[in-house]
Structure 1
Amino acid sequence: MKPFETSCYSLLLLLLPASGAWSASSVESAVERVAREHVNRYAESIGWAEPQLKLKLTTGNLGGCPDDANIETIDVRHPSRMRFAAICNGEKREVVVRATIAANVVVSAEDLKAGTPIDASSLKLERRDVTATPGAVTNIDEVAGKTSRRAMRAGQLVDRRWLNESVLVKRNGKVTIIARNAGVEVHVAAEALQNGRRGEVISVKNSANGTVLRARVIGPDAVEPLEIPSGTTR
């Protein structure tokens, strides 16, 4: 082989790997785009605030795949390990994408006891890795006033799966029935016949006339009647 031909052949050999890498990179970009769309929808469905995503692709051999290769979704149930396939000349080549998601979420600002109503002042927002915590909460108001089934350490991320509504009305305790009708609000003293959390319907007894009625808990020691009782006493 002549020196000139040898130089051209050597140059060709150098160009071939670069061409293959460029093709694989194009397909990887397509996979990453599809994966990012899935993760963004996932974060939006949960309501995470200002999510930041990092994606890492673990690929097989994508060399030789056409730039317009179709990307097929296999399994995206867990962002930490999503599976896709690039269709290369009729052959499926699997690609694993591992996502890391960070978002502004609620964490405890101090140690919290289980079963004790949580005050808003004991909570704060921080940016945390929430990839493995789909129950992470983004709004302090969603946590304040509730109780946790487990104790939490200062700095621990709050998981909504641990939370219970606090008991706002206690059995045999005094409550106020707040009845509203046509712009008029009437307060009636009553006794709770059951414990109740926000939104629960319980039985209460009118302290003035002994009438028992069903009412919905709307706040601490406060309920609203399911039906406006006749002859309500102010």
Structure 2
Amino acid sequence: MPTPKYRFISLIYKDLFLNTNAARNAGFPLSTRRATGCGKALSACFLLLLPAFAQAQDARAQLDAAAQQQVAAELKSAAQKAGWKGMTFTVDNNLPNSLGKLAACPNEPQLRLLETPATVTARRRFEASCAGQSGWPVSFISQPRVYLPTVVASGAIERGQTLDAAQLKLAPMEIGKSSRGYFTDIAEVTGKTARRRLRADQPLTPALLDGALLVRRGQQVRIVASQDGIQASAVGESLANGKQDEVIRVKNLRSQKIIEAKVTASGEVSSIF
């Protein structure tokens, strides 16, 4: 008895269905062959590669940690010598891409500076070595960024105004970007005068300030006169503001004479003959 036509069609679909299932369970890339070995489970193959990835990560992590430690020690030593207080820093290491193929060093890698940095904030060129290991030494760049609390204006300060502590505050600043200098102590700035108008939160530099006023107009001052080893003093009145070593006009309150005198200290001038 001949097989009905619809039974041939059913057998074709059945074969197609079985082959499709085989393909769905195949290894990567897709194949019509049944998966065996590593292709049977892609995740198993990936797990075999993890130790190599771990080694690459370890080599990179080793160099990053070694550079962080060495640069941090240098910065802390420099801060102690300079008397810096409240210093913070970051260290950015530009590690080469070749570390992805480099096995980790069994021991700690040894770092050597290839050149002495010009300043504490300058970048450093390191060579890292690992005795007996192929692929070493490795060179890379390390860039520290150092931040210090520096003196800034707490509000607007007008030109010619004498600064007092209430007008100043400390704020962190990256000192490597401050080519014009900075102050780290409010006491260093108190009493100085602004050469131009200062805006709020503006970092103060030596170029923005004049020396402190040691004598003010209308203030009583001590006039000191010296000649041939003999020194005499008198009370006077300042007729102008004066900073260190400036020559101003002063009235002798006893003789009422007006003389020129050089500012030598706070509230004191020296007569000029």
Q: Which stretches in structure 1 are left out of the alignment for 5+ residues? A: 180-185, 226-234
Decide whether aligned partners of structure 1 residues 96 and 12 sit closer, same or farther in structure 2, where only a CA change above 3 A counts: same
Q: Which has a greater percent of strand? A: 1
Q: What is the deviation of 1:38?
A: 2.9
Alignment of 1:15-164 (within 5 A): 15-44=51-80, 46-60=82-96, 61-62=98-99, 63-64=102-103, 66=105, 67-74=108-115, 76-77=117-118, 82-88=123-129, 93-133=138-178, 135-164=181-210
**Alignment of 1:217 onto 2:264:** yes
Amino acid at match of 1:168: L
Choose between structure 1 and 2 for higher RCO, CA contacts under 8 A separated by at least 6 residues.
1
Identity %: 21
Q: CA deviation at 1:41?
A: 3.9
Q: Per-residue deviation at 1:80?
A: 5.9
SS of the residue aligned with 1:74? Answer: coil
- Measure, in 2, the Cα distance between the counterparts of 1:194 and 1:92: 68
Amino acid at match of 1:59: L
Distance 1:101 1:81, change over 3 A: same
Supply the AA of the counterpart residue of 1:104. P
How many angstroms apart in 2 are the aligned matches of 1:10 and 1:155?
55
Choose which of 181, 184, 188 in structure 1 pairs with 2:234.
Answer: 188
1:56-100: CA deviation from partner (whole Å, max 9, x where unpaired): 211113434743323315353356651221233696633222333
Indicate conservation of the 8 Å contact 1:170/1:192, yes or no: yes
Distance 1:49 1:141, change over 3 A: same
Q: What residue number does 1:183 align with?
A: none
Larger Rg: 2
Residues 113 and 71 (structure 1), Cα distance of their counterparts in 2 relative to 1, 3 Å cut: same
TM-score in terms of structure 1 length: 0.66
Q: Cα 1:203–1:112, aligned 2, differ >3 Å: closer, same or farther?
A: closer
Greater helix share, 1 or 2?
2
Q: Which runs of 5 or more residues in structure 2 are unaligned?
A: 1-35, 226-231
In the alignment, residue 155 of structure 1 is paired with which amino acid?
Answer: D
CA RMSD of aligned residues (A): 4.4
Distance 1:111 1:47, change over 3 A: farther
Alpha-carbon contact 1:27-1:86 (below 8 Å) kept: no
Structure 2 letter corresponding to 1:125: L
Report the counterpart of residue 229 of structure 1 in structure 2.
Answer: none
